[in-house]
Chain A
Amino acid sequence: MNKPTNQRAWLLVLPVLVAVAFSAIIPLMTVVNYSVQDILGPEQRVFVGTEWFRKVLRDPELHGALRRQLGFSLAVLALEIPLGVALALVLPKEGRAASVCLVLLGLPLLIPFNVVGTIWQIFARGDIGLFGVVINALGVEYNYTSNALDAWLTVLLMDVWHWTPLVALLCYAGLRAIPEAYYQAARIDGASAWATFRFIQLPRLRGVLTIAVLLRFMDSFMIYTEPFVLTGGGPGNATTFLSQYLTRLAVGQFDLGPAAAFSLVYFLVILLLSYIFYTAMTASTSTTGSKEAR
């Protein structure tokens, strides 16, 4: 039987809440205030109600950016999670080789976002970039500056290169935490490699995979710097994602009211999708946990 939760423990979280209030909640409240006003100047504001929400929610450019963003984030998850798990499984378990592999794997994570964009901007060029030249030499017509599909795939590939190591490192840590006794039991039962993965490693990885999926989803959904440096959102609007569209609105056109309304819609979409992912993954964990307990 479940015991009632002691809510008094929340008081211990109070210092963190105060810090978050100053760094996140107060700015968010200001954004809410901006979203219902026409900001003409620092002292000149006119209350417009839901007009900016109406405007941004009916903007076809926003719908396009949202579709591209969802497609991008889902593609990122579909590629990076399995690839990260696979990499973690084949990495050496101990010794010098394990250390070398971990350092090499972590290198892309140390590179600043704008430098990643610049690296790929040169790397993928059809005239001087190794990747672009090799692809063209193979007979595939590739030019990320003029072809929308090429640009989209290049941004995706760049993100996979940059962030798969994070998923791999998380999974590697999760795999190392599985007690050897589980593998011994599997060997005694004559379990195949697939059965070991399916019934021992994967269930034990659920916790780190939840974190990996949430981190990668939220991060890819807010991606800005790398595609901005690599393609500038083009060709056309092919790689203009939500944050780029928002920046154009807020900084480029200085439309602070619509930008604030758009920010809130953006925030709510991320909140909803993250909540769905988190609930689905923790629900399946607790289901597995209760099955194991039986």
Chain B
Amino acid sequence: MDLEWMAWTAPTAGFFVVIVLLLAAYTVWGIRSPSLPRRGLLPMATTRGDRLFVGLMGSAFIHLAWVGLTDASVSTALVLSLLFMLFIARWG
């Protein structure tokens, strides 16, 4: 199947592969060990999947803020995002 029209690049392909792997891993995890909603630092009860969603959305905004406000490399934003996702997954 020719996917040339989608204008793929290596970084965007890597990005989507990571997202798909994350979703697949969380699905398998969810089937094997269903999660109960719990309250952490976030102001609502969240399941494991909710925290992944909040973590991914927060990461997107961390990157946007980084790109919009600084001229520094986005790799720092990537590290901050990973830390944020881990923080939300554990304590969110």
Give residues in A with beta carbon < 8 Å to B.
2, 4-8, 10, 26, 29-30, 32-34, 36-37, 39, 45, 47, 49-50, 53-54, 57-58, 265, 268, 271-272, 275, 279, 283
Contact = CB atoms under 8 A, between A and B. Distances in A.
B34 A6 contact: yes
B40 interface: no
B36 A30 contact: no
B65 to A, nearest CB: 9
A32 B68 CA distance: 17
A45 B74 CA distance: 22
A36 B34 contact: no
Nearest to A272: B57
8 contacts: A4-B36, A5-B47, A7-B27, A33-B6, A34-B7, A47-B11, A50-B67, A57-B68
Contact of B61 (A4, A50, A272): A272
Contacts, number: 68
B64 interface: yes
Per DSSP, are chain B's interface residues mostly helix, strand or loop, or mixed?
helix
Given A7-B34, A32-B15, A57 B64 contact: yes
Given A29-B16, A30-B6, A57-B68, A36 B44 contact: no
A275 B31 contact: no
B73 to A, nearest CB: 10
Nearest to B4: A43
B74 A50 contact: yes
Given A5-B34, A6-B34, A268-B57, A37 B9 contact: yes
Nearest to A59: B68
A58 B5 CA distance: 29
B7 to A, nearest CB: 4
Given A8-B31, A26-B6, A58-B68, A32 B12 contact: yes
B47 A45 contact: no
Contacts of A6: 34
Contacts of B61: 268, 272
A271 B12 contact: no
> What 4 pairs between A and B have smallest CB-CB spacing?
A57-B68, A4-B34, A7-B30, A33-B7
Nearest to A54: B67
B60 to A, nearest CB: 5
Given A33-B7, A36-B11, 18 more contacts: A2-B36, A4-B34, A6-B34, A10-B27, A29-B12, A30-B6, A30-B7, A32-B16, A33-B6, A33-B8, A36-B12, A50-B67, A50-B74, A53-B67, A54-B67, A54-B71, A57-B64, A275-B53
Interface in B59-88: 60-61, 64, 67-68, 71, 74
Interface string B22-42: 000001001100111100000
B16 to A, nearest CB: 6
